[in-house]
Amino acid sequence: MFGITLRGGVGTLAVGAFVALNANSASAEVPKTPTFSKDIAPIFQAKCQNCHEPGSIAPMSLRTFQEARPWARSIKSRVESRQMPPWHIDRSVGVQHFKNDMSLSDEQVETIVRWVDQGAAQGNPADMPPLKPVATSLFWQGERDGYGAPDLIVKSPEYTMPAVSQDQWWRPAVDIEGLTEPRWVKMVEIRPSNINGRKILHHSIAHVVMDPNDVDADSVNRGIGGRGGDDDPAALVNARPSLMEWAIGKGYDRYMDGTGKLIKPGQRISWDQHVHAVGEAVTAGSELGIWLYPKGQEPKYRSYLVGFTGLKEGAIGLDIPPNTIAHTEGFTVLKENTVITNFQPHFHLRGKAMTVEAIFPDGRTEVVSHVDNFNFNWMTNYIYAENQAPVFPKGTIIHVIAFYDNTKANKNNPDPEQWVGYGDRTVDEMAHAWMNVFYLNDAEYQEWLAKRGGKPGIPVMPSNTQQQQQQ
């Protein structure tokens, strides 16, 4: 089973060779006259209801025909433009296989569009699948996806955000309770500490505070530049090792098989929570769920979260005039052979698109990932399928190109008349690509290449296609 993303991939299994090239270009039949009961409800249950059910984060429930019908037009437009589900990565370039793909297949999009175009009929209620039970409280997405409950939960103290306020940064530090020996982390997830917290928590980062005498403290981020002082843009985001960066809409980070992050007793979690007022007072904090490797099991590689900068001149280089589309670029030289395992573009309200491109030492370039449709509400994390994680030799430059839309065409833009610069507030801007990476020595690098087509960059795995054809 190489390379295809099964979870969330309803209907992608039975569909022949195309799957290997694009997990969503399935060739299953699109029904001629789709009905809600027979054709649409199963898609909504699989791809929408986690969010579109009572008490969840979306504004309306899509469980029943009665609930969904009034939204038919809006559903068509969001689905057709691939705004919903919130999976905004470009489908024509870069890595195309993911562990956490929540997008619709082309057939599912076509089925929904046809259903709406033909009048959004209910069909025979007897065709309805049983209703999915509604979650009544917060949950861990990792648990829902079958990884069990987290082994450790670290909670930040709560913060009361008044109804009206400037943005706040809530930065308490807490112990990692229950950690009695060094352990390797396999997966992490951050969630607000209560349902209402979803309204005010814009992002939340859990940094590990290391003992400065610990030799490890120095080796973090050893593979990239960016320890060059305060005005160094890479240093701005990489000064401390992070376990996870969570933002609105983000699920969990599950590190690639054989990789993990080490935590030790005595270390603390320093929180960096960006809180945004919403017109009512809300009290909330964050919780970090940690899934561990079994005791004594040590992953081969240590994974680091790096924010590859999109700002070559640092904060000062971000200068977006009113009513313009602007762009910036950043360049980071890899000092070590590096495997990249995910992509999460980070911007604020003017963010529009981000390209991550590798410039190999021989001058060749390859696009690693491109999000063309960035939406501030959705800091989606695109976790690469295990056999699609690209590898780069030391000396490769990670080139991040960031585009900003400061015009009124950008629906998230609070004020196109403003000049926008770098800053922490939501109304300021920033641009970096969060990526978990791990480093290979030269022998490991050669071994890695040999197993993955012999070429650096995104692995070409023709065997994928054959495997799929045999199914």
Residues in touch with ligand HEC (CB under 6 A): 47-48, 50-52, 57-59, 71, 74-75, 78-79, 84-86, 102, 104, 249, 377
Per the structure block, which two tokens stand in for 4? 């295809």
Nearer to ligand HEC, 85 or 289 (CB): 85
Q: Which amino acid is at 455?
A: K
Task: Tell me which residue has tokens 């120095």.
Answer: 218
Q: Cα-atom radius of gyration of the chain, to the nearest Å?
A: 22
Nearer to ligand HEC, 56 or 270 (CB): 56
Q: Are 88 and 249 in contact (CB under 8 A)?
A: no
Distance CA 464, CA 388 (A): 11
Nearer to ligand HEC, 70 or 178 (CB): 70
Task: Say which DSSP state 210 is in.
Answer: P
In a 3-state reduction of DSSP, which class is residue 78? helix
Beta-bridge mates of residue 345: 433
Q: Are 389 and 440 in contact (CB under 8 A)?
A: no
- Least separation in angstroms between residue 50's CB and ligand HEC is 6
Task: Say which DSSP state 375 is in.
Answer: B
Distance CA 234, CA 236 (A): 5
* Residue-by-residue DSSP string for 218-275: HHTTTTB---S-TT-HHHHHHSS-EEEEEETT--EEEPPTTEEEEE-TT-EEEEEEEE
- Cα separations (Å) of 281 from 166, 299, 464? 13, 44, 52
User: Rounded to a whole number, what is the distance in angstroms from the first to the last CA of the chain?
Assistant: 10
Nearer to ligand HEC, 50 or 388 (CB): 50
- Least separation in angstroms between residue 16's CB and ligand HEC is 23
- Least separation in angstroms between residue 137's CB and ligand HEC is 17
Nearer to ligand HEC, 50 or 338 (CB): 50
- Least separation in angstroms between residue 449's CB and ligand HEC is 36
- Least separation in angstroms between residue 376's CB and ligand HEC is 9
- Least separation in angstroms between residue 324's CB and ligand HEC is 25
- Least separation in angstroms between residue 52's CB and ligand HEC is 5
Distance CA 173, CA 156 (A): 7
- Cα separations (Å) of 443 from 253, 256, 361? 28, 20, 18
Q: Say whether the peptide bond before residue 393 is cis (omega within 30 degrees of 0).
A: no
- Least separation in angstroms between residue 276's CB and ligand HEC is 14
Nearer to ligand HEC, 48 or 205 (CB): 48
Burial class (CB in 10 A: 0-12, 13-18, 19+), 135: middle
- Cα separations (Å) of 409 from 321, 382, 406, 420? 15, 26, 8, 16
* Residue-by-residue DSSP string for 305-337: EEEEES-TTGGGG-EE-TT-EEEEEEEEEBSSE
Nearer to ligand HEC, 259 or 344 (CB): 344
- Least separation in angstroms between residue 87's CB and ligand HEC is 8
Rounded (10°) angle between helices 72-80 and 106-117: 150
- Which has the closest alpha carbon to 430: 237, 173, 195? 237
Nearer to ligand HEC, 105 or 273 (CB): 105
Distance CA 99, CA 384 (A): 6
- Least separation in angstroms between residue 386's CB and ligand HEC is 23
Nearer to ligand HEC, 8 or 314 (CB): 8
Nearer to ligand HEC, 67 or 90 (CB): 67
Per the structure block, which two tokens stand in for 211? 């003992």
Nearer to ligand HEC, 84 or 402 (CB): 84
- Least separation in angstroms between residue 79's CB and ligand HEC is 5
- Least separation in angstroms between residue 183's CB and ligand HEC is 30
Per the structure block, which two tokens stand in for 118? 């033909």
Nearer to ligand HEC, 85 or 226 (CB): 85
Distance CA 434, CA 350 (A): 18
